[in-house]
Homo-oligomer: A and B are copies of this chain.
Amino acid sequence: MSATVLDMSMSLDGFIAGPNETPDHGLGDGGTRLHEWVFEGSGSGPGDARPTGVNGRVFAEVMATGAVVAGRGTVEPAGYWRGDHHDGVPIFILGRGEPPAEIGGWPLITFVDDVATAMRRAKEAAGGKDVLVHGAGVARLALAAGVLDELELHVIPVLFGGGRRLFDGLPAEQIELERTRVLEGEGGVTHVHYRVRR
């Protein structure tokens, strides 16, 4: 059974980007600190990142998902991943308004204006695999709508003090979670997995 899984790296104080974020500077000041674990062990750039050990196992799970759901705020700074997040899986982008002209050449990308529809279509398209969910805005909408199944957070051993928070603007009501896994990754990264109780 396919699950929608929010996958985010965050600082211990809950930030997913540093201060002074702009469209050209999507992770904010110092925000790349949160993603070092993905590149450690590869000795090279983002294009061929292959972490090893525990981090490698977690990274491989992310790459084994069958579809992606992300918000426009996440994909625009990332250049729409040039149309392919990983292995040619379908990508559903939550966003209002006209899609940008350049996505015409990227057949894997579908724009959807409603979070429940995005999650449903991504599950259908994932071929029984999990759906990778990216972005704070999508997480907020999906939690509020009750369509987020799980969370996989990579907690980085750093305090940011400022920037953009993962959890901000959620409805002020308690959402109970079930902790399903904790993995102690290399470099002090802690991978925690939760299932949303409904």
Contact = CB atoms under 8 A, between A and B. Distances in A.
Interface of A: 12-14, 18-19, 29-30, 33, 143, 151, 153, 155, 157-163, 165-167, 170-179, 182, 184, 188, 190, 192, 194
Name the residue in A159, A170, A175 with the highest tally of chain B Cβ atoms < 10 Å from its Cβ: A159
B171 A161 contact: yes
Given A29-B172, A157-B176, A158-B175, 7 more contacts: A13-B166, A13-B170, A30-B174, A158-B176, A161-B174, A179-B190, A190-B192
B179 A160 contact: no
A33 B157 contact: no
22 contacts: A12-B153, A12-B194, A13-B14, A13-B166, A14-B14, A14-B167, A18-B174, A19-B172, A29-B172, A155-B192, A157-B178, A157-B179, A157-B194, A158-B175, A158-B177, A160-B172, A161-B171, A161-B173, A162-B172, A163-B172, A178-B188, A182-B190
A159 B170 contact: yes
Contacts of A174: 18, 30, 33, 158-161
Given A157-B194, A172-B160, A182-B184, A177 B12 contact: yes
A19 B170 CA distance: 12
B157 A161 contact: no
Contacts of A160: 172, 174
8 A-B pairs with the lowest CB-CB distances in the bound complex, closest first: A162-B172, A13-B167, A161-B170, A179-B188, A157-B177, A159-B175, A161-B172, A14-B14
A181 B109 CA distance: 42
Nearest to A173: B161
